[in-house]
């Protein structure tokens, strides 16, 4: 074989090797994707009529925890420090700093029950529906919280006036509360992809019930009343109003032990995953201890119940510790088996939980983003 023939042969061999590599890579990707989709068909959910995409979302949530955890931010694309989404932009403080969007997006439905066009944080519900769709179609996980006003007084969710017994079945405000749930259901059922498929969501109602600050909290209703409220809400949404796109997440505030965590638990037939809200409010040493004790405890419960779990709310307001992301948060939540950490919203320069350009912890946040076990949107796209 002459030199020209040899070069042609080597070129063809190189092209063939590249082709084989690409085919194998695509095959591996498709095999993983098919395996995840296939496994989702065997997942049991509290809603026996749940849309198949809900099972697939649950499969993804479980898959995340096998190799790391996702980072989430409340209202990440709705507003931030010095800006508010007008419907014509795709932006987040997280992306501005780290060059990628969160892997988990939190949204709030409070005031939907009142028929308002905006939620209690002034986010337009029509805009929110679009942001949810975009977040989901790009590969993110969407989690929904709900702070409904006190049904008895109509004051905010933080009015602890006793009301739960009034809204339970046969209570004097039961018809009114069912009407609120109807508004909620209409919004949830309207959430579709561009192709018309239901968007699956993680629904986290009546959270922090072991605290005293909400009307569904420990000083305002008994554990039995709370369990009944949860179950009736589940039944009304699924059976009366045909809502079948939800994963139901039970989420407490910090607890002393397993018994306190399960005190208000409505039962495995009404819950799909577990959560806990742990904020950095006191000394750093205290927060580290809180994270390790509570997440360790929750990990045990989650394993017993074969459910995924998450740090459903967290953060240090103002993030005034330069290396908080890598040295405080990550070092004490990684290797715990949780699926994500969601920090709270960036409302103003006086109330924020994620960094923005020039903020003290920005450089450390970039390091945090680069950790191989921390998943932002780009990494979440690989778990699909």
- pLDDT tens figures, 106-164: 999 999 999 999 999 999 999 999 999 999 999 999 999 999 999 999 999 999 999 99
Residue 243, classed as helix, strand or coil, is coil
DSSP calls for 121-168 = TS-BHHHHHHHHHHHHHTT-EEEEEE-PPPTTT---TT---S-HHHHS
> Could you read off the pLDDT of 185-231 as tens digits, one per residue?
999 999 999 999 999 999 999 999 999 999 999 999 999 999 999 99
Question: Stretch 237-251: mean pLDDT, rounded?
Answer: 98
b/e per residue, 207-229, with b = 16+ CB within 10 A? bbbbbeebbbbbebbeeebbbbb
* The dihedral formed by the CA atoms of 188, 194, 197 and 202, expressed in degrees to the nearest 10: -40
Q: What is the pLDDT of residue 40?
A: 81
Give the residue-averaged pLDDT of 51-62.
97
Count Cα atoms within 13 angstroms, Cβ side, for 221: 28
What pLDDT was estimated at residue 33? 59
Q: Which CATH number fits domain 43-380: 3.20.20.80, 3.40.50.410, 3.40.50.720, 3.40.140.10?
A: 3.20.20.80
Rg, C-alpha atoms of the chain:
23
Q: Look at residue 4 and tell me whether its pLDDT is greater than 60.
A: no
- Residue 38 has a pLDDT of 84
Torsion of CA 57, 61, 63, 65, to 10 degrees: 180
**What percent of the chain clears pLDDT 90, i.e. is strictly above it?**
88
Token duo for residue 113: 């029950």
- Residue 26: pLDDT band (50, 70, 90) is very low
- Please give the pLDDT value at position 20: 40
| pLDDT of amino acid 36 | 86
pLDDT band at 41 (very low <50, low <70, confident <90, very high): confident
Q: Which pLDDT does position 8 carry in this prediction?
A: 55
Angle at 236 between CA 234 and CA 242, to 5 degrees: 95
Per-domain boundaries in the chain: 43-380
- Is 32's pLDDT higher than 60? no
Beta strand spans in the chain (E): 69-74, 79-80, 83-84, 104-108, 141-146, 201-205, 246-253, 273-279, 309-315, 340-343, 374-375
Q: Which two tokens stand for residue 13?
A: 């061999």
**Are 228 and 165 in contact, with CB atoms under 8 Å apart?**
no
> Is the pLDDT assigned to residue 297 strictly greater than 90?
yes
- With a pLDDT cut of 70, the percent of the chain lying above it is 91
77-83 average pLDDT score: 98
With cut-offs at 50, 70 and 90, classify the pLDDT of residue 12: low
* From 5-14, 290-299, 305-314, 322-331, the region with the lowest mean pLDDT: 5-14
Determine the Cα–Cα distance for residues 35 and 55; give it in Å rounded to an integer: 13
């Amino acid at each position: 074989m002459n030199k020209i023939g040899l070069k042609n042969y080597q070129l063809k061999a190189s092209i063939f090797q590249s082709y084989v590599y690409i085919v194998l890579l695509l095959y591996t990707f498709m095999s993983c994707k098919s395996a995840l989709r296939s496994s989702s068909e065997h997942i049991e959910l509290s809603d026996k009529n749940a849309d198949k995409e809900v099972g697939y979302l649950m499969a993804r949530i479980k898959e995340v925890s096998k190799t790391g955890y996702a980072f989430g931010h409340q209202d990440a694309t709705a507003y931030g420090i010095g800006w508010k989404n007008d419907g014509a932009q795709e932006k987040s403080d997280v992306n501005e700093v780290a060059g990628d969007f969160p892997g988990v997006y939190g949204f709030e439905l409070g005031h939907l029950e009142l028929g308002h066009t905006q939620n209690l944080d002034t986010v337009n519900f029509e805009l929110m529906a679009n942001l949810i769709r975009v977040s989901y179609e790009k590969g993110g996980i969407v989690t929904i919280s709900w702070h409904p006003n006190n049904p008895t007084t109509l004051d905010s969710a933080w009015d602890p006036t006793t009301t739960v017994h009034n809204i339970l079945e046969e209570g004097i405000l039961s018809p009114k509360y069912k009407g609120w749930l109807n508004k909620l259901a209409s919004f949830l059922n309207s959430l579709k992809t561009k192709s018309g498929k239901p968007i699956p969501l993680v629904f986290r109602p009546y959270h922090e019930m072991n605290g005293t600050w909400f009307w569904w909290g420990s000083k305002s209703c008994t554990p039995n009343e709370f369990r009944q409220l949860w179950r009736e809400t589940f039944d009304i949404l699924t059976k009366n109003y045909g809502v079948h796109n939800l994963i139901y997440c039970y989420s407490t505030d910090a607890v002393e032990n397993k018994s306190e965590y399960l005190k208000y638990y409505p039962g495995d037939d009404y819950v799909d995953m577990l959560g806990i809200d742990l904020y950095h409010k006191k000394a750093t040493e205290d927060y580290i201890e809180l994270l390790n004790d509570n997440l360790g405890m929750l990990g045990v419960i989650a394993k017993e119940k074969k459910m995924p779990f998450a740090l459903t709310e967290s953060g240090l307001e103002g993030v005034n510790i330069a290396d908080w992301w890598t040295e405080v948060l990550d070092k004490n939540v990684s290797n715990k088996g949780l699926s994500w950490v969601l920090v709270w919203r960036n409302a103003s320069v006086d109330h924020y939980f994620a960094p923005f350009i020039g903020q003290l912890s920005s450089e450390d946040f970039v390091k945090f983003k680069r950790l191989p076990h921390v998943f932002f949107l780009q990494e979440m796209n690989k778990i699909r």
